C-alpha cells in the first residue's frame, strides 16, 4: 500500500493501481462525477485517455477540477 493525496486528502491505495482504478474505486464515496472532471497529477494535467496508463506513486498529489458555470 502507498499513500497518495487527492484534493489534499490522504488515501491508501495499492501500488499497482492506475489513476483510473483509484478514482473509480473512490468516486461513489467521495461523490466525484468522473465524467465531468479534469485531473492533474503533481501539477501536470493528465488527459482522460491516459488515466489507465498512469500508475500512481507514493506521495503523488492528485487534484480534481470541475467546470463551474457563472461569471
Q: Which of 47, 42, 1 is nearest to 20 (CA)?
A: 47
Positive or negative, the CA dihedral 28, 33, 38, 43 is negative
DSSP H or E run through 29: helix 19-30
Domains in the chain: ranges and CATH: 2-66 (3.10.20.30)
Strands (E), the chain: 2-6, 9-13, 37-41, 44-46, 61-66
What SS3 class is residue 65?
strand
The string of pLDDT tens digits covering residues 10-49 is 999 988 899 999 988 887 777 777 788 899 999 999 999 9
pTM as predicted = 0.83
Amino acid at each position: 500500500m502507498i499513500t497518495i493525496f487527492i484534493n489534499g486528502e490522504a488515501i491508501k491505495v495499492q501500488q499497482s493501481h492506475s489513476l483510473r482504478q483509484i478514482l473509480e474505486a473512490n468516486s461513489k464515496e467521495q461523490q466525484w462525477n468522473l465524467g465531468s472532471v479534469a485531473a492533474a497529477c503533481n501539477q501536470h494535467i493528465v488527459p482522460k485517455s491516459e488515466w489507465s496508463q498512469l500508475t500512481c506513486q507514493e506521495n503523488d498529489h492528485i487534484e480534481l477540477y470541475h467546470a463551474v458555470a457563472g461569471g
